[in-house]
């Protein structure tokens, strides 16, 4: 199965909406939140050098998509944080952690592949691994910042 790309030579209205939200805020914030809000659904978002963003639909049979949906829960823990502070700190030390970031990218690509073949059991493993990578990355940034 091939993924359906929604990136076009001209910027789609969804991409414009995501970009305008980022421009209006004018703070260092995560792009992925704004893109997923603009596009919705189960997507793979690739951020390319030079600022290009490619948003892809992950092709899955309807029965697999329903089964995945039936097995997911979302909780609000009450924990809040200022993403601008975290991202400012991360940007400062980004070059030191490309290996970890590439590993996270590769995890996301592997999960995309697993979903394409209908292996929803891979989601739990990917979430655990991704969470571990994010925690390790935060620890590395905290070590740098003292």
Same domain? For 69 and 52 the reply is: no
Buried b (16+ CB within 10 A) or exposed e, 3-16: eeeeeeeeeeeebe
Q: What is the pLDDT along the chain (146 residues), one digit of tens a residue?
A: 444 555 444 567 667 766 665 566 666 566 777 788 888 888 999 988 888 889 999 999 999 999 999 999 989 999 887 777 767 766 776 777 788 888 988 999 999 999 999 999 999 999 888 888 877 776 655 555 55
Q: Please, are residues 59 and 115 in contact by the beta-carbon 8 Å criterion?
A: no
Same domain? For 18 and 64 the reply is: no
State in Å, rounded, how far the first CA of the chain is from the last one: 47
pTM of the model: 0.69
Domain that holds residue 70: 60-146
Same domain? For 78 and 139 the reply is: yes
């Amino acid at each position: 199965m091939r993924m359906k790309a929604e990136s076009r030579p001209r910027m789609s209205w969804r991409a414009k909406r995501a970009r305008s939200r980022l421009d209006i805020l004018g703070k260092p914030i995560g792009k992925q939140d704004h893109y997923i809000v603009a596009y919705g659904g189960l997507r793979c978002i690739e951020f390319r050098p030079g600022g290009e963003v490619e948003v892809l639909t992950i092709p899955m049979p309807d029965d697999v998509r329903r089964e995945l949906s039936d097995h997911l829960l979302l909780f609000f823990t009450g924990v809040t944080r200022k993403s601008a502070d975290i991202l400012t700190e991360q940007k400062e030390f980004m070059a030191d952690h490309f290996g970890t970031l590439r590993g996270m990218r590769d995890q996301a690509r592997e999960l995309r592949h697993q979903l394409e073949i209908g292996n929803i059991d891979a989601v739990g493993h990917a979430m655990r691994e991704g969470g571990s990578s994010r925690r390790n990355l935060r620890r590395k940034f905290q070590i740098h910042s003292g």
